[in-house]
Amino acid sequence: MPPQQQQQPPPRPGNANLRPVPDGPGVRSAELQGLDKVTARTQRFYAPVGKSTRFGTLEITVGDCLVNVPDAPPESVAYLTIVDHKPGQAEEKLFAGWMFASTPSLSALDHGVYDLRVLSCTMAQGSSPPSSR
């Protein structure tokens, strides 16, 4: 399998109020929620910016994670690249783009087994990969 090239996120969404999560203890991460539609199990997990995290057969890479400034309406937006690694098949890039926490249907993942949404951008104390497969 060829090494994956790290892609730079596209220009930030046209909202001047968005900025990275303020520095603090932990790792800048996107809090995500995955749904396995077959088992109806949901799993919340943190995916660090710049690293890949697995959820079932999906490999999720967070390119950036931004929040609104404090005096603006709450919003978190993450740039995600999602690749499906089904056993015995070639990997398939399913999604690359910005997902908004406030409007998950605006740019949703289209997958028969999994659903994924952004909950927030935060400084996570640890990144625990999901156990759901």
Q: What is the pLDDT of residues 41-77, one digit of tens each?
A: 999 999 999 999 999 999 999 999 999 888 878 889 9
pTM of the predicted structure, to 2 decimals: 0.80
The answer to whether residue 38 sits within a structural domain is yes
pLDDT of 70: 81
The answer to whether residue 26 sits within a structural domain is yes
The answer to whether residue 133 sits within a structural domain is no
The answer to whether residue 58 sits within a structural domain is yes
The answer to whether residue 27 sits within a structural domain is yes
Number of structural domains the chain divides into: 1
CB 52 within 8 A of CB 98: no
The answer to whether residue 50 sits within a structural domain is yes
The domain in which residue 98 lies consists of 18-124
Residue type, 36: D
pLDDT of 5: 54
The mean pLDDT value for 109-119 works out to 92
Taking CA atoms, 41 is separated from 90, 102, 112, in Å, by 26, 22, 14
CB 15 within 8 A of CB 68: yes
The answer to whether residue 1 sits within a structural domain is no
Residue type, 4: Q
